[in-house]
Structure formats: structure tokens, C-alpha cells
Copies of this chain bind each other. A is one copy, B any other.
Amino acid sequence: MPAKAIRPHRIDGRKGVGPLIPPLTESQRPLRQQVFELVRAAGLIPRVQVAKDLDVSPATVTTISSELIEAGLIEEVAAPRDGEPGRGRPAVALGVRAAAHRVAGMKLSDREHTAVIVDFAGNLIADDAIPRQPGPMSLIEILDAIETLLTRVCAKAGIDRSALSAVGIGVPGFVDCAEGVALWSSVLADRSVPLAAAASARLGLPVTIDNDANLVALAELWFGAGRSLSDFAVVTIEHGVGMGFVMNHRIYRGAQRVGMELGHTKVQLDGALCRCGQRGCLEAYIADYALAREATTALNWGHKESQPINVLLESLYDHAKAGNATAKSIFRRAGRYLAVGLSNVVNLFDPSLIILSGERMRYDYLYAAETLDEMDNLTINTGRPRPPIEIHAWGDLLWAHGAAALALSAVTEAILTGQALRTAAE
């Protein structure tokens, strides 16, 4: 499939005759990116603070911020002075120029596909979702779904698809984001699908794909709790168990981009059967399907096999709350295994924060006091306090927002390195 280079799209009337900034030498490149990332993470930040935070001279910050303003990436904003109302002229801060670009982010899942359109500062412009029948899809089917969803969310935003600079797509399963290949995914019938290139060709836009849990971590890094943190873990529990890890302000993906498969780490030799075919995976004790198969036994629902999994889990939860001992024991065991998984994350990664995310977080057994106690009992006493755990029970919109951050990231990197984003030709 031949590829043709396109320029990052500009939506502000200035013509995009990129590279928008002259190519950087290697030694300049990191600093320009550092300045931009600091501004993005801070929201609004005075130049003097940038100089302080990066330990560079104010003159250097002035030079680099001028280049970034000239390139349309950031802008000067009059910022209120804390505690000094009306005194002198207002301070000037740097902020990301929201109007510079628009991108779309999508989360593909077993139950529905979700999409958002955001501006360059990450502000939500529109969102939409389309339900789907569970089960793997062919590449053609998933491209149809992607295109349909994109058309709908663009209509909601009142813009043409061509007004987008890039599209980011989150896919469950094993995804090589560098090669744009979905190695295996529960939503795809085939292995090793070149989804990024195929979607790019279909949409006529640059497309980047990644594992969906990585994108939740990216959303936290760009828009959430991770703005001020350099190293933290995000653990997601839904249809499966995923993990994203931010290390030194970047998503860590592994040498072959297939790391962080927390759901398939083994917590018991010859243990419970996982849908991956192996035994003893963490996922096989705490993911939806693991609870559902025990619920079928506990609630004597063997004959109601056509019942949707959500209905089954809701009923199990209701029974547990009503005092059903078997139902409670199912959640209790899941909580204990989650404690094992989380303590292993702490013992290995020593993160500054663990964020629990995903739909299952509304089942509070997962982070009940006894689960956290169990986790403390399983975390080795190094003499340092256990990292805090936060529950972010956000829905698919957050995941789609993370996919949008992936697209923003691709646009930014292309501009800062003076390279063009590519769209595959169909």
C-alpha cells in the first residue's frame, strides 16, 4: 500500500505549508518538546516558570516559545495574578492554542464503539457511540463501523472529516502501535491486521492505533491525575484486565510493544482457565467472563445461557448486596486476586500512583477496605509507604479521549520534529 505524505492540518486559516518549524538538530529537539509538553501539562504557565522548571535561561525560553507561537502550537494568554487583583498589568502565560488542530479519538470494544472530537487543548467538541453485536469482526466490517462512527461524530461537531488532522484508535488486545498492526484483538476475527494503514486509507486521514489500556493511561497523563506525575500505573478491569504504565512522562510499551499484559500474568500455577487458553491468568479470576461463569453456577442460571453478561453480573451484584453468601464469596475471591495483581504491580514497578479504571469499578467490592488490606499484606515491606490508589470510574468516553490524545501526540510530534504525518493511499 503506497503512502503519500500530507501536512498536519491547520484549522485557523493559516496555510499549512509545513514543516511548520525548521528541522531541529538533535540537541535542540528535546528542549523544544520539553517546553511544549510542560505548557500542555500545565494548562497555563508563565515563561519564567518554564525556565525554572526546565532549569534553562529565560532567554532560551523566550526563543523557543516564540518558535512554538510562530508555529501556531501555543499562544500567549493574559493570566490573573493570584492575590494581586488590579495591580499593574496582567501577567502573561503560555497555553496550548486550542484552535490549532482538531482530532478524533475512538475506542473499539466488544459492546459498542465510542468516538470523540477534541481540539488541540483536548477540549471535547463532540462525542458519539454506536452499539454492536459482540464477537469478532472482519477488517471490512470494522472499517465500515469506524467510518460510520466518524461520519456521525463529525456531523455532531458540525465539521467535515477533512477538518481533522489525525485519528487515534484504541483497540483491546495486543497492538503494535509503531507498526500500526493489531496482532490479536477480541474485536477482530484475524490476527496481525494492519489496521492503522487500512483505516487511514479508508478515511483519508493519518491514523494511529494502540492498545486501549495504554490510551487510558495516556488520557490520565494528558488530561487527568498524571499531569503532575512522571511514573504511574493505570489498571483497567472490564471485559479483560489491562494495564498502562507511564514512565518518565511516556507510555512504556516494551521492546516489541506488547508489554504490560497484567491480565495474563500468572497468579496460580495450573489455575483457572483463561479465555486466552492458558491457566492461572489474573484475568481468569477477576474479569467479567470469570465472574460470569461462577455466577452461572452460583445462581443456578445454567439454562439462561442467552442472558447478556451485564444482566448476569448486575444480578450477581444484587444478590451479594442482599446477603447471598455464595454471591459474596465470588466477589470476595475476585477482590483477593485483584489484591495479588496490584501488589505485584507495586512490588515490581514501585509507581507513585495506581489508578483503577473501567466499568467494573462501580462494583465497590473491588476496592473495598478488605481488598486494600489484603493488598497491603501482599506488598513487601520495603520501608517506604505503599503508593496511593485512586478509583476513576469513568466510562468509554475517557478511553476515546485517550485515543484522541494519541492523535494529538502524533500531530505534535510531527510538527516538532519537522516531519509530515502520513496517510495511506487506499
Contact = CB atoms under 8 A, between A and B. Distances in A.
Contacts of A60: 25-27
A387 interface: yes
B174 A382 contact: yes
18 contacts: A26-B55, A27-B56, A176-B384, A231-B254, A243-B348, A247-B252, A256-B352, A256-B385, A258-B383, A261-B348, A265-B343, A265-B344, A265-B347, A267-B269, A268-B269, A276-B380, A344-B344, A348-B348
- Residue picked from A174, A344, A348, most chain B C-beta under 10 Å: A348
Contacts of A380: 174, 261, 264, 276, 278, 281
A13 to B, nearest CB: 33
A256 B384 contact: yes
Given A336-B269, A348-B259, A348-B260, A28 B27 contact: yes
A388 to B, nearest CB: 11
- Copies of this protein in the complex: 2
Interface in A256-295: 256-262, 264-269, 276, 278, 280-281
Interface in A348-385: 348-352, 377-378, 380-385
A347 to B, nearest CB: 4
Given A259-B347, A261-B347, A264-B380, 16 more contacts: A25-B56, A27-B27, A27-B60, A174-B384, A192-B383, A243-B348, A254-B350, A254-B351, A259-B348, A262-B347, A266-B344, A266-B378, A267-B268, A268-B268, A276-B380, A278-B378
B350 A256 contact: yes
